């Protein structure tokens, strides 16, 4: 549970930073993705002496690296597109759907017992998300962001699923075991190098230097969160991994209320239902 709480706390900081990078610093999806990958890579390098950095290559490890690279590329680029319209809280509310997908994956793929009460909390969360969407339908172009939002949710789920499968493989074959952190490390190397031709460095340096600095420095908690997240996946399974998001959601909800962000009564009620549904699903379902 400590790894889940650590990852959640770090990701709250990152969520607010990501919203700033896209909505205020006006970083485009390529620049945002490159800064995310490059800065996180630099901070992860600092932690290598203190974590499992075993790095034996096998075709399974290479496959995992390539799949994680694709997953993170889609996650970062799609979040940059979606955050132009949604707040950090609203994005995490929709990400709560992955908790349910992870739960049913654990039920059908790993034999986790099914609880009928879970369906009630899924319905409560669904109603909350519907009210959030309805309250913002005039100000948020859902038709424009629907596909990026779906791809973002799929990328976030696939990341946890890939790490879980790879952890299962490394447990069965310790002689060929590359740590999940090193898989992620190599994925960030590929992203950093691969995106270089698409980053407008002159524009970033001349016009958006402050935004780049703030976005980059807040990747330190992102690096810590990724390490804690991988440990949470290996120790608690997909449902434990997905539990990170409800904690982030609850925290962002109260931060939004405190900061008096856009909240109609319908939006506020929908957000509260989403928080209640996801929390109850995680704790009682």
Residue 181, pLDDT score: 81
Domain with 219, as residue range(s), is 2-283
What is the domain count for the chain?
1
* pTM score: 0.83
- pLDDT of 39 over the 90 cut: yes
Residue 238, pLDDT score: 57
Residue 70, pLDDT score: 96
Q: What percent of the chain has pLDDT over 90?
A: 25
Helix (H), strand (E), coil (C) string for the chain = CHHHHHHHHHHHHHHHHHHHHHHHCCCCHHHHHHHHHHHHHHHHHHHHHHCCCCCCCCHHHHHHHHHHHHHHHHHHHHHHHHCCCCCHHHHHHHHCHHHHHHHHHHHHHHCCCCCCHHHHHHHHHHHHHHHHHHHCCCCCCHHHHHHHHHHHHHHHHHHHHHHHHHHHHHHHCHHHCCCHHHHHHHHHHHHHHHCHHHCCHHHHHHHCHHHHHHHHHCHHHHHHHHHHHHHHHHHHHHHHHHCHHHHHHHHHHHHHHHCCCCCCHHHHHHHHHHHHHHHHHHHCC
Quick: pLDDT tens for 183-212: 889 999 999 999 999 998 988 888 888 999
Quick: pLDDT tens for 121-177: 888 888 888 887 777 666 778 788 899 999 999 998 898 888 878 877 777 777 767
Residue 216, pLDDT score: 93
Mean pLDDT of the chain: 84
Residue 251, pLDDT score: 87
């Amino acid at each position: 549970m400590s790894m889940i709480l650590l990852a959640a706390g770090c990701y709250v900081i990152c969520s607010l930073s990501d919203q700033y990078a896209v909505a205020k610093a006006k970083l485009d999806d390529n620049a945002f993705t490159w800064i995310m990958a490059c800065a996180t890579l630099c901070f992860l390098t600092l932690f290598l002496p203190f974590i499992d950095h075993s790095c034996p290559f096998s075709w399974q490890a290479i496959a995992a690296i390539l799949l994680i690279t694709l997953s993170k590329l889609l996650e970062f680029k799609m979040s940059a597109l979606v955050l132009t319209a949604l707040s950090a809280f609203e994005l995490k509310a929709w990400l709560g759907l992955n908790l349910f997908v992870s739960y049913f994956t654990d039920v059908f793929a790993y034999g986790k017992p099914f609880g009928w009460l879970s369906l009630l909390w899924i319905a409560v969360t669904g109603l909350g998300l519907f009210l959030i969407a309805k309250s913002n339908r005039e100000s948020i172009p859902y038709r424009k962001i629907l596909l990026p939002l779906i791809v973002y949710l799929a990328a976030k789920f696939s990341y946890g699923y890939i790490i879980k499968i790879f952890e299962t493989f490394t447990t069965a074959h310790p002689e060929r075991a590359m740590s999940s952190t090193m898989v992620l490390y190599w994925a960030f190397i590929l992203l950093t190098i691969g995106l270089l031709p698409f980053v407008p460095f002159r524009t970033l340096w001349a016009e958006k230097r402050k935004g780049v600095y703030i976005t980059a420095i807040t990747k330190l908690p992102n690096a810590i969160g990724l390490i804690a997240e991988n440990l949470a996946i290996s120790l608690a399974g997909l449902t434990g991994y997905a539990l990170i998001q409800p904690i982030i959601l609850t925290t962002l909800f109260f931060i939004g209320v405190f900061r008096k962000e856009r909240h109609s009564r319908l939006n506020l009620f929908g957000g509260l239902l989403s928080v209640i549904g996801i929390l109850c699903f995680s704790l009682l379902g």
